[in-house]
Structure 1
């Protein structure tokens, strides 16, 4: 095994900057890093040396990527990105393939709840679990936010003092085509739902009803808010954005309703005056940042409590109540009292507190402790040295990962500046959205 850390990325806006923090620590300690487009990396990784692969999920699709790597001798580190917002054990268990414990050398849990559920579902993973927190929450720390002030000011100058509506309806408003296709192709097709288990089938039927009814509530809320204050509606990348463009096209809204899906969500949270979201990680990020945030739950069939945001944030069911809060914040009023969360659960059971240490540093420490001693330093000769092309990818996957070399450089410089990196790094473009990083040696 070589000292090479592979960081596949599915959604660049969500994952890239946090992975670059992890890459910084690996580079600091003499490892090489290959980071970028998950689909391209999966196709060509057989051309690269055996190293440590950082898997972003534990479902059957991810395990299918891991299995041949494990057979070649790769070390496997796993997280489950989709577990972050979940507070329902069955949903978490659904996301785990049966042989994930066998495939994984280190599992990085977001919090005690994640660790408990994963270990209960897969007892063989016990002893491999490290509770570290959520890597991308590092970006919410002041040392990173300070560098985003200018971007936040640009967004406010363009969109006004806006309310951010962050939606997460990847089932009811799926890019796949229809909820039925989503169920068949992704939930059943990826082994997430076992149709022989009535409890699992019933849970996902309720999930569809919950998303469908909540989405209708968000449409009503968007219309009501845009009558009075600037609104930016930011759909999840798994959604069909045309649904929201159709809403925006209903009338002019006096320029107060914008549908935008670009850039890291942290910039939009930072720039907003109020965040309204449905059961997703955005709510947790806004809470960590200290921004005014609520969970809008206009409908509940028992699913609302399945999501961490609805357990730790103020829940509001009424459109007029949210419109009133938006009026107040637009007038410069602080909302601390109105958004009090007395009686809500503490978040640190679900997401380990960052304390005074970066989550990415905890992640790297766990990886290094497991693999550094058994690995040899990689050299330039270990790598193929050519540029690979991404062919045949669905257009949606290009939307999910869309990073130019210049944007990659800017993101890495931002991370290095925040971490006060003092060592030079060599960057090589290995393919469309795929990059090799190494610490520059004296004389290079």
Structure 2
């Protein structure tokens, strides 16, 4: 069967999806992956697929099952940050239209099962998440970016922030927008919204200390660069306005955060998932807590790294960028949350998909769209580029949408795959076809016999 994996945020998901696609190809399964056109192909074809649900869209999942397909929920957010009942219940809206739920770890699986009817508990399988298969020392060469090394060296301090209160569109507007989306009805739950507002108030108390920390580090180590890398939703001007007089401070979120982690001398965070990635990649990690609220800081990642209560403690920890990474015991404590620490998630998920494919119908392969469909796709993209030039909130909103999945070429996809294969030579060779904008087909090198195709309007 054809596997179909939609991607929302390329920087967060693309590498893991490509790695999973290689493991699926090793089992003879082709994978359709990319942006919004993936769902267009799936829904318009009416043909069965193994669909990797990432946003709990009941209408899409129902259509996939109705066509004889399979729905495997593989959510890129997980539930390791917040175990609140509202969050779990929002995730489990798909119980009536899912074949299997892939949990990141035993802890997440327990959260799911605690809110599920007993006769549904078997829907949950502990797999891990594909992206974290790559968050390890072995893949440091894959993420090493020589252009970053030339510009910033290998002793820079990377400060990762993840403060939703500093949203580029404004916090109140952002949560109001989410509340209008059917997959995010949790943002209409008053109890959850009160929690989010309290969290935003907490985060606002952290913004100035983090900007000041960057200044202190830059002044203390003038020969080193300090990189502030805000979360993709954050307003970067907040940090630029407070550091623009310092030539060795850079506010930059281009590329994958793992590229930045791979050549950093030390990584600083408060309660950011990038702290987890830095820990797994073997980097010295500092958890800066000028204030700390056990309830409002993300409970899992806010305890990762060496804690520092003030800028002087951070400076002391960051002074020796050659220090050994600290975190062996912390990695051990993460075992219940991340099955990747004991198994290869992509291999487990690919085996699960293959078990469904073995009793499924014949594989079909999507074709590039026709001329008019292709022109329509590119016209919408060109329209977004023009609207992104608008001033004010409208322009910021479109730029935010475009930044989620920048235009990606066939050469870039092939390059990423070959670099993965250079780290793991046992990964299979594959053919990659560019179907349309940010939409690709990855299939085993030996083409499937008897496969038939379909365009997105079929």
Structure-1-length-normalised TM-score: 0.85
Find the counterpart in structure 2 of residue 63 from structure 1: 58
Q: Does 1:9 align with 2:11?
A: no
SS in 1 for 2:217: helix
Find the counterpart in structure 2 of residue 294 from structure 1: 286
1:273-352 matches, cutoff 5 A: 273-304=265-296, 306-329=298-321, 332=322, 334=323, 346-352=333-339
Distance 1:5 1:320, change over 3 A: same
Partners in 1 of 2:332 and 2:421 — Cα distance? 35
Report how many residues are paired: 420
Find the counterpart in structure 2 of residue 398 from structure 1: 402
Find the counterpart in structure 2 of residue 119 from structure 1: 113
1:260-279 matches, cutoff 5 A: 260-279=252-271
SS in 2 for 1:244: helix
SS in 1 for 2:185: coil
Partners in 2 of 1:245 and 1:50 — Cα distance? 49
SS in 2 for 1:420: coil
Aligned alpha-carbon RMSD (Å): 2.8
Deviations 1:225-263 (A, max 9, x none): 2223311111111223333333343x1x1x211111122
Q: Does 1:21 align with 2:22?
A: no
Select the residue among 43, 46, 51 that pairs with 2:43: 46
Deviates more, 1:403-412 or 1:240-249: 240-249
Distance 1:385 1:181, change over 3 A: closer
Deviations 1:66-87 (A, max 9, x none): 3433333331111232225414
1:120 positional shift: 1.7
Whether the 8 Å CA contact 1:235–1:260 is kept in 2: the answer is yes
Partners in 1 of 2:362 and 2:89 — Cα distance? 38
Unmatched 5+ stretches in structure 1: none
Partners in 2 of 1:33 and 1:343 — Cα distance? 35
Q: Stretches of 4+ moved more than 6 A in 1?
A: 340-345
Find the counterpart in structure 2 of residue 78 from structure 1: 73
Partners in 2 of 1:406 and 1:270 — Cα distance? 23
Q: Does 1:210 align with 2:202?
A: yes
Q: Does 1:414 align with 2:419?
A: yes
1:218 positional shift: 1.2
1:83-122 matches, cutoff 5 A: 83=78, 85-90=80-85, 92-93=87-88, 95-96=90-91, 99-122=93-116
Find the counterpart in structure 1 of residue 139 from structure 2: 144
Select the residue among 154, 157, 166 that pairs with 1:163: 157
Whether the 8 Å CA contact 1:113–1:350 is kept in 2: the answer is yes
Unmatched 5+ stretches in structure 2: 385-397, 450-458
1:282 positional shift: 1.0
Distance 1:243 1:283, change over 3 A: same
Whether the 8 Å CA contact 1:269–1:275 is kept in 2: the answer is yes
SS in 2 for 1:375: coil
Structure-2-length-normalised TM-score: 0.83
Partners in 2 of 1:422 and 1:335 — Cα distance? 31
Distance 1:312 1:162, change over 3 A: closer
Partners in 1 of 2:440 and 2:430 — Cα distance? 12
SS in 1 for 2:215: helix
